[in-house]
Structure 1
Amino acid sequence: MDVKINQEALFAMQDLLQDQFLPTLEFCLTEFDRLHADLERDFDVNVTDTIRHAHSLKSNAAQFGAESLAQLAREIEHALGQGDSAHALSLKQALPAHISATKEQINKAI
């Protein structure tokens, strides 16, 4: 999956948050990692919590224009909701590299 950043959404958040943009962005980027860690921790233990972590990752990514990361999290959330843990597992394996590449692209864009 190619990393896609919606720069219009990213710049809209920058305009909206003004001087709070960078601290908020930094928090959001660390949330990507935290939510991924939570998702990994709960994946084989609690499907409901794992779906919630995927949903939160999707929402955080979408707020800052990280479209492809939001899509990946959405697909994990959907697969788990449909009981397709094998597909969710294969998608989950792509998360670390995708989060890293997304953070890099967002940092380049600002």
Structure 2
Amino acid sequence: MNVIIDEACLDTMQSLLGEQFSDTLVFCISEFERLEREVRESLPVDLEAATRNAHSLKSNAAQFGAMSLSDSAREIELFLLEGDVNSAKESLSNLSQQVAGSTVKLQQWLMANA
């Protein structure tokens, strides 16, 4: 699994948010985990909620430079929009790995750049 973090996005967000950046990034990381859990839990019972949560995860991840996580969430969102629930379910393990890997890399970046 390849986890891609676009550090230019982080630099941009840091300059935009200033003193609020660290707290915002920590919150965003917790949102990645919450949204991934929501996708997983809603997928079998509420496809609309699963699609909405995958979309939110895709957007949040991209905003904070977690590009491979964003791509993984987008893949699930597209599968759900196409009605391909089985492929979406098959992609869940990759999504979980991307959340975990992105979390580690973002926390490392934060420690090095805070």
TM-score by length of 1: 0.96
Q: Does 2:57 match 1:57?
A: yes
Q: Distance in 2 between matches of 1:13 and 1:24?
A: 10
List structure 1 segments (4+ residues) > 3 angstroms apart after TM superposition. Answer: none
Residue matched to 1:17: 17
What do residues 1-55 of structure 1 show as CA deviations (whole Å, max 9, x unaligned)? Answer: 4100000001110111010000100110000011111111111001111000000
How well do the aligned residues superpose, as a CA RMSD in angstroms? 0.9
How far apart are the structure 2 equivalents of 1:72 and 1:98?
7
Cα distance, 1:97 vs structure 2: 1.8
1:38 aligned partner = 38
Q: How far is 1:93 from its partner?
A: 1.7
Sequence identity percentage: 41
Q: Which residue of 2 aligns with 1:93?
A: 93
Gaps of 5+ in 2: none
Structure 1: any 5+ residue segments left out of the alignment? none
Pairs aligned (count): 110
1:44-99 superposed Cα distances (whole Å, 9 cap, x missing partner): 00111100000000011011000000000000000011111111111112222211
TM-score calculated relative to the size of structure 2: 0.92
Partner of 1:74: 74
